[in-house]
Amino acid sequence: MTQPVPPPGGTPAGPTGPRADFWYRLGGFLIDGVILYVIGVVIGLVFRGNLVSQILISLAAGIAYSVYFIGSGSGQTPGMRLLNIRAVDAVTGGRVDYGRAFIRYLVGILSQLPCYLGYFWMLWDPEKQTWHDKASGTFVVPTSAYPVERWPG
């Protein structure tokens, strides 16, 4: 797997790099939500009548979707790709490994529980990080500053 191209001009990643805007992140989240909803409907049709199986398989599909795409070389889910944003390691500006992508997913669930406070946190955080960004050591950045070589990488 190749590492992402560093930002133009050799600018180090981290606190000095640009961040993705709230509206782009929200748009990516909603697009991914629609995709996962459709997957859930299909799972519901296949496992009709067995609610426990539906829930467990839908949860596994959500984890696999998020961890695979965020942990890929591009650091983009399909929703993020459509809006030209990506997740990068906060220290290196490179790829987020699969373990931290999993942590990011789990804390993302916790971020939703108190009325999505963990997501809105980026609006007043100086680093524009959500709770799941902070827990996993990631930033979400525009691909104009942190280009993607190939998708999903």
Q: Is residue 14 part of a domain?
A: no
Q: Is residue 115 part of a domain?
A: yes
pLDDT band for position 50 (50/70/90)?
confident
pLDDT band for position 99 (50/70/90)?
very high
1, with CB counted inside 10 A (0-12, 13-18, 19+), is: exposed
Q: Rounding to the nearest 10 degrees, give the CA dihedral for residues 87, 88, 91, 95.
A: 140
| Domain count for the chain | 1
pLDDT, position 48: 82
The residue segments making up the domain with residue 27 are 19-142
Show the beta-strand stretches assigned E in 1-153: 85-89, 138-142
Which residue blocks in 72-125 are alpha helix, DSSP H? 78-82, 98-112, 117-120
**Average pLDDT rounded to a whole number, residues 125-131:** 94
Query: What amino acid occupies position 69?
Result: F
Q: Is residue 1 part of a domain?
A: no
Q: Is residue 12 part of a domain?
A: no
Q: Is residue 67 part of a domain?
A: yes
Q: Is residue 2 part of a domain?
A: no
Q: Is residue 28 part of a domain?
A: yes
pLDDT band for position 51 (50/70/90)?
confident
Q: Is residue 42 part of a domain?
A: yes
Reply yes or no: is the peptide bond before residue 152 cis, omega within 30 of 0.
yes
